[in-house]
A and B are shown apart, each in its own frame.
Chain A
């Protein structure tokens, strides 16, 4: 059992930030989970930018509207987006509470800012466009070819262009969060090498049994 509230007194100012690290297990876990969720979101957006939307460019108007409508019907987008946001925010809060070194906090906050723009773009651009698609896909309108052509014309260009913006920002979020995790790992290693080492071995040393 680890007492997360014990904070060792600080002697050297240069290392003070690092010595304040406590409860690294949980912060590290939150960062790892956030990074995994963030790469999933990025992969999802990337797939639409690079594979799905270019393929739909060939489709006729009715197929385009029907497929987009089916995509919107699916809660996975919202769910994954929310999980990534919650985990990143959790990592930031844990770091703040446990007085992590400023560099880790800075990169985590940078991730949150970048990701907030991804979500803002989603609300400002994609959700209104998706609503237009959903209206055009109503049973009484789906046969109206002129309307389908009009909606597709209005939706496709902006949806695709802003999705590329979302993808790039999301990749930047992954990079920033990866940087935070690297710095966090490095700080933890420094601290473990120092006299105040008290954290549990997490992740566990898998290699001991296999290599020896």
Chain B
């Protein structure tokens, strides 16, 4: 069983990864569906606005959790003959993959969208492509964060 500060960190990581999963889940299941039904012009403007508001809460929850997760990965790596350490390491790897995905995929596309003129030529096509592909990869972020949360919770429960 995980003891001491690692136990506290694991609880924080579990809640943080679950919260991150909920964050992505909100976009996958509610927000993007709503934007899809707006006119492209309105949709682009709304998403641009969301992308201006979202980074601060994202950094606090998702990136904050990533820091905790990284520390846990180090703890787990040092104690790999323990069952919980394997759960922790798998959870950390899955969670950090969602962060890498964000920086590699979502951030560049958000920056491209920020530069898009909603009324300009080709804006509709760019928006349609963004909407479909961004959302598809957002499902992946939601699923990986959720899986990581489950691994952290299980890590607390193995003996």
- Interfacial residues, chain A to chain B (CB-CB below 8 A): 28, 32, 35-36, 38-48, 50-52, 54-56, 58-59, 63, 66-67, 70-71, 73-74, 76-77, 80, 174-175, 178, 181-182, 185-186, 188-189, 192, 203, 205-208, 210-212
Contact = CB atoms under 8 A, between A and B. Distances in A.
A55 B37 contact: no
A40 B154 contact: no
A199 to B, nearest CB: 10
Tell me if B's interface is mostly helix, strand, loop or mixed.
Answer: helix
A26 B19 CA distance: 24
Contact of A174 (B15, B46, B49, B86): B15
Tell me if A's interface is mostly helix, strand, loop or mixed.
Answer: helix
B2 to A, nearest CB: 10
Contacts of B85: 207, 211
A44 B26 contact: yes
B18 A74 contact: no
B59 to A, nearest CB: 11
A181 B159 CA distance: 14
A45 B42 CA distance: 23
Interface stretch (B93-101, B125-133, B145-153): B145-153
10 contacts: A43-B23, A48-B26, A55-B53, A70-B35, A74-B33, A74-B34, A206-B90, A207-B83, A210-B80, A211-B82
Given A56-B46, A63-B46, A185-B157, 18 more contacts: A32-B154, A35-B153, A36-B18, A39-B149, A43-B20, A43-B25, A52-B53, A55-B46, A55-B54, A67-B35, A71-B31, A76-B30, A178-B11, A178-B14, A185-B156, A206-B87, A206-B90, A207-B82
Contacts of B124: none
A212 B61 CA distance: 35
A28 B159 CA distance: 14
A116 to B, nearest CB: 20
Q: Which of A44, A182, A210, A212 has the most CB of B within 10 A?
A: A44
